[in-house]
């Protein structure tokens, strides 16, 4: 049996809120993401889903617990190793696309690859392929300001997948779009995930979108509960 794409064990995180005292955001969270699995993470605002995603993606460290990606434990690893794993194994998508405004759609997908040491010709070909998959071949030379919100977010999807990650972490990836565009863009995301075979943990408030994933997890009071197949 292949190793889980992502495994979190006993993840806890507490923040000091000054006069408000300490707030326990995560309390012993366990999560396993199988290869090729797409899981919905549902949580009320402020429940800690962004914190959980940041810890899973090595952008933050837990107070207790372990993170494994592709069977490799990241506990005790230095910043250099964590940065390399994050760059090669994890893709991030946020509610707001965060594209670089001075670069074209294609350049936004090319740049992460160049930073990862990919030869330029290979990076260009990869960007062209990904943009074609999301129906944006004709918009590759446009800068973000000349694109719709849905188009910008599709470029962000391509950027997240540019380096061929093992795990995709998405925090409300369609939360900034109108319902019609949200449904279309989410469909594109699901097609991309299926086409590349990676695993995905997608935080969303949208129960209709959550129902299209393999299973649903609910984060409440710092604990993760299995909701079963939607």
200-229 pLDDT per residue, tens: 999 888 888 888 899 999 988 888 876 544
**In this structure, what token pair is assigned to residue 44?**
């009320």
3-state secondary structure of 11: strand
pLDDT at 230: 40
Beta-strand pair 38-42/199-203? parallel
145 belongs to a structural domain: yes
pLDDT at 124: 96
pLDDT at 227: 58
1 belongs to a structural domain: no
Predicted TM-score (pTM) of this structure: 0.86
230 belongs to a structural domain: no
Q: Decide if 214 contacts 36 (C-beta within 8 A).
A: no
Among 1-5, 68-72, 102-106, 152-156, the range scoring the smallest mean pLDDT is 1-5
pLDDT at 103: 95
Mean pLDDT of the chain: 85
Q: By percentage, how much of the chain surpasses pLDDT 70?
A: 96
215 belongs to a structural domain: yes
Q: What is the CATH number of the domain that holds 101?
A: 3.40.50.300
229 belongs to a structural domain: no
The mean per-residue pLDDT over the stretch 111-128 comes to 94
The range of the structural domain enclosing residue 12 comes to 6-224
Distance (Å, rounded) from C-alpha 41 to C-alpha 209? 11
Q: How many domains are contained in the chain? A: 1
104 belongs to a structural domain: yes
Contacts of 125 (CB under 8 A, 6+ apart): none
3-state secondary structure of 108: helix
pLDDT at 81: 83
141 belongs to a structural domain: yes
pLDDT at 216: 92
| pLDDT for residue 63 is more than 50 | yes
| pLDDT for residue 188 is more than 60 | yes
Distance (Å, rounded) from C-alpha 156 to C-alpha 137? 14
């Amino acid at each position: 049996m292949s190793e889980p794409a992502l495994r979190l064990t006993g993840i806890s995180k507490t923040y000091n809120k000054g006069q408000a005292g300490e707030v326990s955001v995560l309390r012993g969270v366990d999560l396993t993401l199988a290869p090729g699995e797409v899981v919905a993470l549902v949580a009320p605002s402020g429940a800690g889903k962004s914190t959980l995603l940041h810890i899973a993606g090595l952008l933050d460290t837990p107070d207790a617990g372990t993170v494994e990606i592709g069977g490799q434990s990241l506990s005790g690893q230095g910043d250099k190793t964590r940065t390399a794993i994050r760059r090669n194994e994890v893709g991030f998508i946020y509610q707001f696309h965060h594209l670089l405004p001075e670069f074209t759609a294609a350049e936004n997908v090319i740049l992460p690859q160049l930073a990862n040491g990919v030869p330029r010709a290979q990076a260009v070909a990869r960007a062209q392929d990904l943009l074609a998959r999301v129906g944006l071949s004709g918009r590759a030379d446009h800068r973000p300001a000349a694109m719709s919100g849905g188009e910008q977010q599709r470029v962000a999807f391509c950027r997240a997948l540019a380096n061929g990650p093992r795990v995709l972490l998405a925090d409300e990836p369609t939360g900034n779009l109108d319902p019609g565009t949200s449904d279309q863009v989410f469909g594109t995301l699901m097609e991309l995930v299926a086409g590349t075979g990676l695993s995905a943990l997608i935080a969303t408030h949208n129960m209709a979108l959550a129902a299209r994933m393999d299973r649903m997890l609910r984060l409440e009071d710092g604990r993760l509960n299995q909701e079963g197949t939607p």
